[in-house]
Amino acid sequence: MQTIDLDTKVKFLRGFADKTRIQILESIKEQEKTVSQIVEDIKGNQSNISQHLACLKGCGIIVGRQVGKYCYYSIGNQQVRDLLTMFDVVLQEVQNDVACCERHID
């Protein structure tokens, strides 16, 4: 397996390190959606969500598929979908510790 540059790894992980981006990923985890559908799902601001979608797409975490005037967003590949599932699995074990952590408070 090829060694990944540490800065690239950190940049990739930052793609997941935002509440709105996680909400977007959860919204499209099982099926592709348009921006409007995502906005409705997470009760967000379209402009803000569009910026987060651009970030996620730029990092290769999601992909967009243009159909007429609509762009449908989905998870970029099965490994990213598996990673989102693994976050949930790991958090089941450590969620109380994470919730009590005072080093990373929003």
Residue 106 lies in a domain: no
Residue 57 lies in a domain: yes
Residue 105 lies in a domain: no
Name the pTM for this structure. 0.88
Q: Which domain holds residue 47?
A: 6-100
Q: How many domains does the chain have?
A: 1
Whole-number Å distance between alpha carbons of 60 and 63? 7
Q: What share of the chain is helix, strand, coil (3-state, %, to 5)?
A: 60, 15, 25
pLDDT tens by residue, the chain, 106 residues:
788 899 999 989 999 999 999 999 999 999 999 999 999 999 999 999 999 999 999 999 999 999 999 999 999 999 999 999 999 999 999 988 888 888 766 5
